[in-house]
Amino acid sequence: MAVKIEKQSVAQLVERPIEIVEYQRQTCVCECCGNIQTASWSPDIVPGQDLGVRLQAFLGWVNNYAHMPYEKQQEMLWELGQIEIGLGTLVATNERITQAIEPSIIELSNWVKQTQPNIHVDETPWSVKGIKEWLWVVANSDFCLFTAADTRSRSELETILGAKYTGVLSSDDFSVYNGYAVADQQKCLAHLRRHFKKLIILPGLHNQAIGEAFVDLIDEAFSSYALRV
């Protein structure tokens, strides 16, 4: 007779996380009218493709978010499921994913331009096959939209948001944002604080007092925000 039962839940890697599954569909003939009907394929597969929908989605994450090279993806598929996949199949899979999500990206981009009252924008260097590119981000608490671009110029900003933006744009003080047509601009308080800290030590009649006053105001804003979250 058991006197005590103890339980422990753990995350476990099963022996074969990836497996080969055979899907079937039937074609039937009506005995009364002779009409031929063929069932639809399962939504878990794409007819004619060797990889299931969920596995393709996982490979898209591995490729574009984890930045795993195709050769490593091949090794992973073999280790997890003894599946041999050619490089061409992996490349084609990623291209299909890109095409599949493109309408959603366009819809999100249009939604941002038309309905969002405030957004944060930034850009950062991004190496693509040894070439310096730029990754732009437009975000607020509801969404995050990334855009790959060749430069960090005003033309890229206008491509993303249009020639003007009707809401409040929050950014750092990079010159591209200065003068861009928006309803209002909010500069990053961390960047402003850095500038006022420099102002404190610059020679000038009131530089120290002005710098200290604004640093105190920004610190108070940061403290108030920390209390809210």
In angstroms, rounded to a whole number, what is the distance separating the alpha carbons of residues 185 and 168?
Answer: 5
In Å, what is the CA distance from 144 to each residue of 7, 82, 105, 111, 223? 40, 36, 11, 12, 25
- The beta strand positions in the chain, using DSSP E, are 27-29, 36-38, 118-128, 131-140, 143-149, 164-171, 181-187
pLDDT of 229: 65
Listed residue (182, 112, 132, 192) closest to 154, CA to CA: 182
pLDDT digits (tens, 9 = 90+) for 116-136: 899 999 999 988 878 999 999
Torsion of Cα atoms, 86 then 128 then 160 then 101, to 10°? 10
pLDDT digits (tens, 9 = 90+) for 29-75: 998 998 999 999 999 999 988 899 999 999 999 998 898 999 999 99
The DSSP letter of residue 107 is H
Query: In the beta sheet, which residues pair with residue 187?
Result: 171
- Among 4-8, 125-129, 199-203, the minimum mean pLDDT is found in 125-129
pLDDT higher than threshold 70 for residue 89: yes
pLDDT higher than threshold 90 for residue 77: yes
- Among 100-104, 112-116, 124-128, the minimum mean pLDDT is found in 112-116
On average, the pLDDT of the chain sits at 91
